[in-house]
Amino acid sequence: MDFLIDPFQAEFVRHGALAAALVGVLCGVVGCYVVLRGMALMADSLAHGVLPGVAIAFMVTAGGAGSAAEPDQVAIAIGALVAGLVTAAATSVILRRSRLREETAAAVVFVFMLALGVVLISRTDGYTVDLTAFLFGDVLGVGSGDVLATAILTVAVLALVGVLYRPFLLLSFDRQRAAALGLRVDLLQLVMLVVITLAVVIGFRVVGALLVLGMLLGPPAAAALVTRRLPAMMALSAGIAAVSAPIGLLVSWHLDLAAGASIVLVPVTVFIVLLLARPAPR
Amino acid sequence: MRTEQVTDAFALRTRDLTVAFNGDRALDGVTVEIPRGVSVALLGPNGAGKSTLFRAAIGLVEPRSGSVELGVDGVAFVPQRLDVEPAFPVTAMDVVRMGRYREVGWVGRFSARDHELVESSMRALGVDDLADKRFGDLSGGQRQRVLLAQAAAQEAELMLLDEPFTGVDRPTHEALRGLLRGWRDEGRTIVVATHDLESAARDFDLVLCLNRRLVAFGPPGDTCIEGVLAETFAGHVVRVGDLVVDVAHHHHGAG
């Protein structure tokens, strides 16, 4: 049994597992709406849209080329949040001013923000290292302060999702019905994007911008295969995401694989297993 | 000086309402006032702007010009059809419960009365035995009845139904007619979009003839007449009960 316990003797692995589990639960719940509303590309766009904000925060706090100052993590989180909100708002504006499909609008903003982020980061020293950390996260570099911050933010966003459960369910089920029941669907749609952005901002430092999408999509997609009601889907999704963190880290430890990517492979594997195991739909 | 007749008792009022998509006018300068407590057949061919009028009423599309105003507090809307992902995780009962969300609020608990309304609405539409089935697994007719049960549970003063008789089986058709009568007798305002001339003339207090513009609005005796219908359905085929009439070729006929 030691091989199950050994890796977690190290504090940095425990911190990483805890932070990844928290992010998993958050993304597992929020991701249910991403899956139900078919907003995968929008979520992807938000995940990468945070990059310019990260780059600017990095440049400002780390002092740009030649400076030895450490980048400020709070500034990076705020920069990421602002850039994510800009991505969400820009997509909404394009949607309203054109008659393009949401996926097209999202993709245009996605490409712009990603390219802008890369251009900005290329102006800083240590370009490759920072971009890698951004895209793939640094789950084993999470400190105890980060775990606490992640826990508080996760609980706060989950509480928000709890309050918005009925409006979000209506919006996801049928916009017309939501409007007839007196909801401002445009505003609500934007709020949903903000909530997804919050999950991305909280999650990308742990599993990376590329893989936070895996936590937003993998667990809910797996849960959707076997549940009939949204609360059950959310609970199962959160559960799958939470256990993915320690399992992924175990695998990564013993096989010497990238930690963040190993974590994300778990829910996707669960999805595939459930897909093959359940009876085919009529 | 002439005093304009003031009626505050309207359920739905539009003033010079124009709605356009990509420059095409779906509604063009429609001014109409639907009083409370009546049943209205909204008659017009496909593309006449019937659905657009409903969508404008619930605030889902913005008027290009003019206004649309609700004179009642609650409005229920049953769309023509609902494309839901088959795997969407809600049961039939969950869908009917949504009808109570406005009253119950975002986080409020369902009272005994809310539960009773949900259950009685499901019984009235004959879907109480489907309560735990996933909505996406139901047949088209069953879904339609669940959505009608949702509208019933909503206890709205204004009911907007988009082509509810299209594609439903005979028993549902009869149940629906009874339901509409009951709602009207309770004093609710009902607006039903339909192609069905015969039903419009027989089952409703007023008929609103729409073809992007308002053609006519009044009792069936004044609206379901040759000239008005010819203008309403200009160039289209009309279904009168089981009879199909091609208005494009018909409107120069008898008269």
Task: Choose the closest CB to B89 out of A38, A165, A229.
Answer: A229
- Confidence at residue B251, expressed as pLDDT on a 0 to 100 scale: 42
The pLDDT > 90 percentage for chain B reads 49
Tell me whether A162 touches chain B (CB under 8 Å): yes
Taking residues B83-101, what's their average pLDDT?
Answer: 89
Taking residues A15-33, what's their average pLDDT?
Answer: 95
Cβ proximity of B14 and B32 under 8 Å: yes
Which residues 189-228 on chain B approach chain A with CB closer than 8 angstroms? Answer: none
Inter-chain CB proximity A181 and B134 less than 8 Å: no
Q: Using CA of residue B132, residue B138, residue B144, residue B145, what is the dihedral sign?
A: negative
Pairing of strands B65-70, B189-194: unpaired
Taking residues B98-107, what's their average pLDDT?
Answer: 92
- Confidence at residue A127, expressed as pLDDT on a 0 to 100 scale: 63
Encode pLDDT of A47-88 as tens digits: 989 989 988 888 888 755 545 556 677 888 899 999 999 998
Taking residues B177-198, what's their average pLDDT?
Answer: 90
- Confidence at residue A131, expressed as pLDDT on a 0 to 100 scale: 72
* Region of poorest pLDDT, from A125-134, A243-252, B104-113: A125-134
- For chain B, the average pLDDT equals 86
More confident residue, B115 or B59: B115
Tell me whether B52 touches chain A (CB under 8 Å): no
Using CA atoms, how far apart are residues B161 and B17, in angstroms rounded to an integer? Answer: 20
- B1-74+156-229: which CATH number, 3.40.50.960, 3.30.70.3280, 3.40.50.300, 3.50.50.60? 3.40.50.300
Task: Choose the closest CB to A182 out of B102, B107, B150.
Answer: B102
Measured CA distances, B223 to B78, B202, B209 (Å): 25, 12, 7
Residue pairs spanning A and B at CB distance below 8 A: 73
Residue A146, by phi and psi: left (phi above 0), alpha (psi -120 to 50) or beta?
alpha
Could you give the ipTM of this predicted complex?
0.83
The pLDDT > 90 percentage for chain A reads 52
Tell me whether B90 touches chain A (CB under 8 Å): yes
Tell me whether B171 touches chain A (CB under 8 Å): no
- Confidence at residue B133, expressed as pLDDT on a 0 to 100 scale: 94
Three-state secondary-structure class, residue B246: strand
- Confidence at residue B241, expressed as pLDDT on a 0 to 100 scale: 56
Inter-chain CB proximity B90 and A230 less than 8 Å: yes
What is the CB neighbour count within 10 angstroms for residue B250? 16
One-character DSSP codes across A121-137: HTTSTTHHHHHHHHHH-
Tokens 């657009």 belong to which residue?
A: B52
Cβ proximity of A94 and A117 under 8 Å: no
- For chain A, the average pLDDT equals 88
Encode pLDDT of B145-176 as tens digits: 899 899 999 988 999 999 988 877 787 788 88
Among A36-40, A127-131, B15-19, B73-77, the range of highest mean pLDDT: B15-19
- Confidence at residue B198, expressed as pLDDT on a 0 to 100 scale: 85
Closest-CA residue in chain B for A221? B87
Encode pLDDT of A225-267 as tens digits: 999 999 999 999 999 999 999 999 999 999 999 888 899 999 9
Task: Choose the closest CB to B82 out of A167, A174, A179.
Answer: A174
Q: Residue B213: name the closest of B20, B34, B48 by CA.
A: B48
Inter-chain CB proximity A181 and B101 less than 8 Å: yes
Q: List Cβ neighbours of A76 (8 Å cut-off, separation of 6 or more).
A: A54, A57, A58, A61, A205
Using CA atoms, how far apart are residues B55 and B45, in angstroms rounded to an integer? Answer: 17
pLDDT at position A152 over 50: yes
Using CA atoms, how far apart are residues B180 and B141, in angstroms rounded to an integer? Answer: 17
Domain boundaries, chain B: 1-74+156-229, 86-155
Tell me whether B243 touches chain A (CB under 8 Å): no
Cβ proximity of A172 and A33 under 8 Å: yes
- Confidence at residue A243, expressed as pLDDT on a 0 to 100 scale: 96
Encode pLDDT of A84-109 as tens digits: 999 989 988 898 888 788 888 889 99
- Confidence at residue A237, expressed as pLDDT on a 0 to 100 scale: 98
Task: Choose the closest CB to A179 out of B58, B95, B150.
Answer: B58
Inter-chain CB proximity B79 and A166 less than 8 Å: no
Residues in chain B with CB shorter than 8 Å from the CB of A184 are 59
Q: List Cβ neighbours of A237 (8 Å cut-off, separation of 6 or more).
A: A28, A29, A31, A32, A219, A220, A222, A223
Return phi, psi of residue B10, to 5°: -95, 155
Tell me whether B22 touches chain A (CB under 8 Å): yes
Inter-chain CB proximity B58 and A165 less than 8 Å: no
Q: List Cβ neighbours of B208 (8 Å cut-off, separation of 6 or more).
A: B32, B34, B40, B41, B42, B43, B191, B214, B216, B217, B223
- Determine the topology of domain A8-277 in CATH: ABC transporter involved in vitamin B12 uptake, BtuC (1.10.3470)
- Confidence at residue B253, expressed as pLDDT on a 0 to 100 scale: 37
Q: Give, to the nearest 10 degrees, the angle between helix A11-36 and helix A40-49.
A: 140
Task: Choose the closest CB to A224 out of B84, B89, B95.
Answer: B89
Inter-chain CB proximity A177 and B98 less than 8 Å: yes
The nearest CA of chain B is from the CA of A229 a distance in Å of 4
Taking residues B134-138, what's their average pLDDT?
Answer: 91
Taking residues A132-158, what's their average pLDDT?
Answer: 88
pLDDT at position B102 over 50: yes
The nearest CA of chain A is from the CA of B64 a distance in Å of 14
Taking residues B84-105, what's their average pLDDT?
Answer: 90
- Partner residues linked to B243 by β-bridges: B240
Q: Residue B190: name the closest of B79, B42, B82, B49 by CA.
A: B42
Q: Select the residue from B50, B83, B90 to test the A interface by mutation, using most A Cβ atoms within 10 A.
A: B90
Tell me whether B101 touches chain A (CB under 8 Å): yes
pLDDT at position B76 over 80: yes
pLDDT at position A111 over 70: yes
Tell me whether B139 touches chain A (CB under 8 Å): no
Encode pLDDT of B194-250 as tens digits: 888 888 888 999 999 999 999 999 999 888 888 888 888 876 656 565 555 665 544
pLDDT confidence tier of residue A134, bands split at 50, 70 and 90: confident
pLDDT at position B1 over 60: no
Q: Residue A133: name the closest of A27, A245, A248, A55 by CA.
A: A55
- Confidence at residue B19, expressed as pLDDT on a 0 to 100 scale: 94
- Confidence at residue B175, expressed as pLDDT on a 0 to 100 scale: 81
pLDDT confidence tier of residue B4, bands split at 50, 70 and 90: very low
Closest-CA residue in chain B for A168? B106
Closest-CA residue in chain A for B159? A180
Tell me whether A229 touches chain B (CB under 8 Å): yes
Q: List Cβ neighbours of A177 (8 Å cut-off, separation of 6 or more).
A: A170, B77, B79, B98, B150
Cβ proximity of B35 and B97 under 8 Å: no
Which residues 20-49 on chain A approach chain B with CB closer than 8 angstroms? Answer: 36, 38
Question: What is chain A's percent helix, strand, coil content, to nearest 5?
Answer: 85, 0, 15
